[in-house]
């Protein structure tokens, strides 16, 4: 197919794809404990149906131990052609505070060319971009194709990692496209070349057998919440830099956002300073970050005049690509033990770790992607980092060291993934799918194969 034919095919398929994305987004496929499992399985079934419609010769759901099923599809490579693995995930984050949504999270709504709804960007847009790209070829693919769509990435991605380690031949490929990132801004093409890893744990402080009256005992009875607050605030200095020994600031060689762009994207309130030192690229993509993501304490509306006997917090640590998540979490836990005041009893539980990723940006597949994205977006892509984690990527790198891993997608930084009012720009989705289809064609050409 010519590039013009590919572009026309993707554009013609967009109306159907938008309706299919609506169908996916309407399914509350939250794969977290405590949420209904039936919608997650429903999303898997729809994903299987979509992959079949894309012309793949073989599609099936595959059981993943301790997790929801992955959806797998494949089509054999033409003689001499490489094989490309396409990845996305069909599970989504919980919607969070429903009052903060301007439209219902599981009622996909299109406003000014953007679809709002939980998962519209992260990562059901990834599923649709793969389907759109594959449909352009009407079952006659220029390369071998394998597709793996994960079912529990947002909560327990390490379970698919274990599956890959046990079944490497199923996913073996020459190039891997991970459609779970995006451009810094709409129509600003970029390839994500680094991911921070992640470690998380729950900390509990305990001081009393039970709550006691703050009037009768306050001032002498040790408050578990006050102890936990002191410990958590000790993790950073007054500038916002991390105080934990052994977690130095890193350096990112590419260009990051300006402070003005970052403040606008993050929604930083006027007059509030950013935290930390170094360039924004350093802080966001190559340095450690520690965030308290949850706190178990009495609510303000339910507060009583009592000294708290126990308090809990969920702590998440982002780890630079070269850092070791296990060593990192050990360092943070040791530090918190050392700064615990008053001899409070401290315990840790629910540990999660995931490694980061650093790509090689000079391979044949990356060159083919550069050409494809330049045609689809009107200019060549630049390298960017991502502060988030994709658990499977580092496992793929270890299993297939010769494969090039390419991260791009329709999740621009204003897409509000993991937050209220998540949305995907439909024109960005079209450009992303077009770039992917052009990439598959480019990779099959003799120049890309070094022939």
Q: What is the set of active-site residues?
A: 91, 153
- Beta strands 423-425 and 114-116: pairing type? antiparallel
Instruction: Give residue for tokens 């410990």.
Output: 231
What CA–CA distance (Å, rounded) separates 347 from 211? 19
Q: 402: which DSSP letter?
A: T
Instruction: Give residue for tokens 């938008």.
Output: 18
Using CB atoms within 10 Å of the CB of residue 369, give its burial: 0 to 12 exposed, 13 to 18 middle, 19+ buried. buried
- 295 - beta bridge partners? 313
Structure-token pair, residue 373: 């994205």
What CA–CA distance (Å, rounded) separates 379 from 280? 24
Q: What is the DSSP string of 347-364?
A: EEEEEEEE--EE--TTSH
Sign of CA dihedral 181, 28, 91, 143: negative
What CA–CA distance (Å, rounded) separates 310 from 141? 59
């Amino acid at each position: 197919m010519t590039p013009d034919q590919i572009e026309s095919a993707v554009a013609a398929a967009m109306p159907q794809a938008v309706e299919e994305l609506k169908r996916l987004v309407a399914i509350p496929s939250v794969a977290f404990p405590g949420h209904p499992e039936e919608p997650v399985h429903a999303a898997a079934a729809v994903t299987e149906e979509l992959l079949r419609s894309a012309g793949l010769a073989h599609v099936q759901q595959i059981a993943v131990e301790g997790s929801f099923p992955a959806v797998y599809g494949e089509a054999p490579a033409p003689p001499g052609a490489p094989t490309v693995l396409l990845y996305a995930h069909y599970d989504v984050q919980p919607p969070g505070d429903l009052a903060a949504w301007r439209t219902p999270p599981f009622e996909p709504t299109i406003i000014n060319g953007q679809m709002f709804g939980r998962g519209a960007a992260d990562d059901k847009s990834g599923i649709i971009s793969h389907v759109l790209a594959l449909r352009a070829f009407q079952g006659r693919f220029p390369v071998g194709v394998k597709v793996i769509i994960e079912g529990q990435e947002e909560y327990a991605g390490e379970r698919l990692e274990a599956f890959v380690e046990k079944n490497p031949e199923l996913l073996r490929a020459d190039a891997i496209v991970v459609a779970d990132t995006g451009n810094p801004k709409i129509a600003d093409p970029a390839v994500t070349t680094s991911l921070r890893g992640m470690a998380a744990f729950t900390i509990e402080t305990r001081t009393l057998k039970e709550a006691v009256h703050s009037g009768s005992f306050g001032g002498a009875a040790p408050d578990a919440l006050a102890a936990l607050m002191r410990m958590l605030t000790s993790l950073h200095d007054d500038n916002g830099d991390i105080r934990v020994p052994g977690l130095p600031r890193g350096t990112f060689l590419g260009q990051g956002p300006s402070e003005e762009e970052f403040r606008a994207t993050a929604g930083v309130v006027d007059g509030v300073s950013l935290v930390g030192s170094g360039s924004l690229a350093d802080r966001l993509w190559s340095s450690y970050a520690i965030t308290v993501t949850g706190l178990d304490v009495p609510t303000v509306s339910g507060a009583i005049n009592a000294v708290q006997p126990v308090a809990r917090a969920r702590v998440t640590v982002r780890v630079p690509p070269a850092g070791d998540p296990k060593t990192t979490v050990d360092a943070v836990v040791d530090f918190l033990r050392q700064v615990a005041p008053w001899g409070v009893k401290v315990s840790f539980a629910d540990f999660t770790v995931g490694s980061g990723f650093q790509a090689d940006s000079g391979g044949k597949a990356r060159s083919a992607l550069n050409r494809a994205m330049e045609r689809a977006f009107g200019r060549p892509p630049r390298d960017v980092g991502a502060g988030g984690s994709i658990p499977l990527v580092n496992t793929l790198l270890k299993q297939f060291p010769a494969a090039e891993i390419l991260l791009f997608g329709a999740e621009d930084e204003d897409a509000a993934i993991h937050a209220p009012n998540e949305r995907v720009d439909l024109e960005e989705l079209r450009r992303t799918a077009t770039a992917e289809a052009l990439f598959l064609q480019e990779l099959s050409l003799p120049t890309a194969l070094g022939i």
